[in-house]
Amino acid sequence: AGRKKIALIGSGMIGGTLAHLAAKKEMGDIVLFDIAEGMPQGKALDLSQCGPVEGFDAKITGSNDYADIAGADVVIVTAGVPRKPGMSRDDLLGINLKVMKAVGEGIKNNCPDAFVICITNPLDAMVWALREFSGLPHNKVVGMAGVLDSARFATFLAWEFGCSVKDVNAFVLGGHGDTMVPVKSYTTINGIPVDDYAKIKGVSASRIDEIVDRTRKGGGEIVGLLGNGSAYYAPATSAISMAEAYIGDQKRILPCASYVEGKYGLDGLYVGVPTVIGAGGTEEVVEIELSDEEKANLKVSTDAVEELLEACKGLDSSLA
């Protein structure tokens, strides 16, 4: 009973944006946690003072003590370091793996019944490690990547076609890296397959390929432009849509980094697949038909994720 409790582990650029969105939507009371002292408390005060202007009721607090996330219904994890220009997400592995260990233990000890959404990169490896360290069931730990990658793909397609983003249903599978797999066969403009609509609009196949490529490198493009840090508005709003699906038992089918065992020929790893999110967490992984080329691309992507998992096991023997 009472309001939901949302714990944000990491109160940096994405964490602060998450808090603002969650408050505005009155999703529940919010705890901003960080290792940096004062910063989450300062952001919590600043965000609380949005309430009278925006008209939301939400208690927003900052903390450096894991005890304050006790009983959280949803935990969204952004703790760690973001990329600098020229870095790949994989370059963050060593540092962020240690962060996932601390966060996983904090969750295990304080809110083992929460639904946990990981955003920290390299995403597919970090969500796997966070699950291992926390010991939570696989259906209660998920990674945010596909909603964001699909949003990037949809944005670029809408610009190219001069159509509303609302009509673009874009589909991206695989790992959250440069090998991700934008799937054209499941991407539609209000139901019209993207290749058909490209023909109607006189957009060449090579132009669509360029958009696929830009989508794959979409995070890096922003890192290069910002010069300091990585994307945060769209990553935050993407994770909020997943949290809403859980809290509202919406049974949405969203592309998420989910635990896949058996389906897609995979044997126990986290990677981006269409996933039903409802009150049970990640309730079902949906296995769709793929062309041979899409299957081959997915294999490249999942092989890259497997390599990162091996690297994690090498860095922390408790994972082996």
Residues with catalytic function: 176
80 contributes a contact to ligand APR by CB under 6 A: yes
Q: Pick from 6, 7, 8, 14 the residue near ligand APR by CB under 6 A.
A: 14
Provide the token pair at 276. Answer: 């039903």
Q: How far is the CB of 38 from ligand APR (least distance, A)?
A: 11
Q: What mask, x for binding ligand APR by CB under 6 A, covers residues 29 to 68?
A: -----xxx--------------------------------
Q: Pick from 235, 255, 272, 274 the residue near ligand APR by CB under 6 A.
A: 235
CA 164 – CA 104 distance, rounded (Å):
40
Contacts of 215-219 with C-beta under 8 Å, sequence gap 24+, read: 215/149, 215/152, 215/153, 215/156, 215/172, 215/180, 215/182, 216/178, 216/179, 216/180, 216/182, 217/178, 218/149, 218/152, 219/83, 219/89
Check whether the bond before 112 is cis (ω within 30° of 0): no
Residues between 299 and 318 with contacts to ligand APR, criterion CB under 6 A: none
φ and ψ of 39, to 5 deg: -60, -50
Q: Are 2 and 70 in contact (CB under 8 A)?
A: no
Q: Are 62 and 40 in contact (CB under 8 A)?
A: yes
The beta strand positions in 70-158, using DSSP E, are 74-77, 115-118, 141-143
84 contributes a contact to ligand APR by CB under 6 A: no
CA 194 – CA 186 distance, rounded (Å):
8
Q: Are 194 and 187 in contact (CB under 8 A)?
A: yes
Residues between 276 and 295 with contacts to ligand APR, criterion CB under 6 A: none
Q: How far is the CB of 92 from ligand APR (least distance, A)?
A: 6
Q: How far is the CB of 18 from ligand APR (least distance, A)?
A: 9
Q: Which is nearer to ligand APR, 189 or 304 (CB)?
A: 304
274 contributes a contact to ligand APR by CB under 6 A: no
99 contributes a contact to ligand APR by CB under 6 A: yes
Q: Which is nearer to ligand APR, 58 or 239 (CB)?
A: 239
Number of residues that bind ligand APR (CB under 6 A): 28
83 contributes a contact to ligand APR by CB under 6 A: yes
15 contributes a contact to ligand APR by CB under 6 A: yes
Q: What mask, x for binding ligand APR by CB under 6 A, covers residues 192 to 231?
A: -------------------------------------xx-
CA 268 – CA 257 distance, rounded (Å):
12
Which residues of the shown chain bind ligand APR in the complex (CB under 6 A)? 9-15, 34-36, 78-83, 92, 96, 99, 102-103, 119-121, 229-230, 232, 235
